[in-house]
Structure 1
């Protein structure tokens, strides 16, 4: 298997778990929160600043600008460039699974990559968040709405692309209907184990 697997996902769809299991089955590394840590090391920025740039994109940084943090947009640009370099470095090392970080957009589709989008119905996502993230059902609803909106804004702000649009993915999987294990099996089959 010489592919790079990128997994974009709706919040609480199980995409992170699916990515880890795919990597484990294929015996290749998975990159997710390590990208944030590596970005922090390279830029000297705090985890909060990196996460705000990724998830909250323009809204959080416009708020920061209004509050007098005039280098917020420079941080956004720096973080995007550093993440691109980091992910390109991972890809150069060989096959891997990259969860999130809009990696499918970042890689530009010119590589041997399998770009996957994991989604689910809202009720299944609320149940998943409640069970796995130690939040109430009400909190889960709010987090789902907020996080999905942030991911949409991030993709549009940084790449000018619509997150979740089928034109940017090779495989779209409904984890609520298929279940985690079947999603893993389908990704492995599509990657050409």
Structure 2
């Protein structure tokens, strides 16, 4: 078993989880794996990165998930006489394999992708979930995507619902629960820098 530490970060949409992960990885001088996991999986599956992004961290996209990769290209699951694993499940299994290999390679920060569950048997893995007050999340998303607060809230609800479904479908555990994570941190109370300070201290303890 490796002795280096891994930090996994689950997060509510708009909580600043990606920014926290990025700052933490920079301070610790270790790799951050987030959207680049999608690119790695897309290359392995020999599909377009845009297609991989469409099913990343969501099992609700029934249109995309109903299409499969077969030796003859894409085909509809409904019309297929022989079972071929849905694209969404192929993506999850490949990302699982990649995450395990990256965790073995050395210390890193991994954002999302059920990494906490995938690495649950690693005693040196620190599993964190980042949340934030709704008002702060709405403000962050409205500014980032230049949309109204109403549209920001709608997007937050949709993304949280999809992340929750994705996580609970693959892990059988409650998304954002203390029973599923070692640490829950409220970025609204601590601030982005404060949250990074806490995690840096835990990592170096």
- Structure 2, unaligned runs of 5 or more: 68-74
TM score, norm. by length of structure 1: 0.90
- Indicate whether 1:182 and 2:187 are aligned: no
Q: Which residue of 2 aligns with 1:24?
A: 26
Q: Which residue of 2 aligns with 1:87?
A: 99
- Indicate whether 1:191 and 2:193 are aligned: no
Q: Which residue of 1 aligns with 2:58?
A: 56
- Structure 1, unaligned runs of 5 or more: none
Q: Which residue of 1 aligns with 2:179?
A: 167
The counterpart of 2:153, out of the listed 141, 153, 156, is 141
Of 146-155 and 48-57, more deviation after overlay is shown by: 48-57
* Contact map agreement 1:118 1:173 (CA 8 A) in 2: yes
- Decide which structure has greater helix share: 1
CA deviation digits over 1:7-50, x for unaligned, max 9? 11000100000000000110101011100000100002233442
How far apart are residue 75 of structure 1 and its match?
A: 1.4
CA deviation digits over 1:137-170, x for unaligned, max 9? 1221011000000001001222222110111211
* Contact map agreement 1:53 1:61 (CA 8 A) in 2: no
TM score, norm. by length of structure 2: 0.85
Larger Rg: 2
Aligned-CA RMSD value: 2.1
Q: Could you tell me how far apart the structure 2 residues matched to 1:14 and 1:132 are?
A: 11
When residues 61 and 48 of structure 1 are mapped into structure 2, their CA distance, relative to the original with a 3 A threshold, is farther
- Indicate whether 1:158 and 2:170 are aligned: yes
* Contact map agreement 1:6 1:103 (CA 8 A) in 2: yes
SS of the residue corresponding to residue 117 of structure 1 reads strand
- Indicate whether 1:69 and 2:49 are aligned: no
Matched residue pairs, number? 191
Q: Could you tell me how far apart the structure 1 residues matched to 2:51 and 2:169 are?
A: 16
Of 48-57 and 168-177, more deviation after overlay is shown by: 48-57
- Indicate whether 1:117 and 2:129 are aligned: yes
* Contact map agreement 2:10 2:130 (CA 8 A) in 1: yes
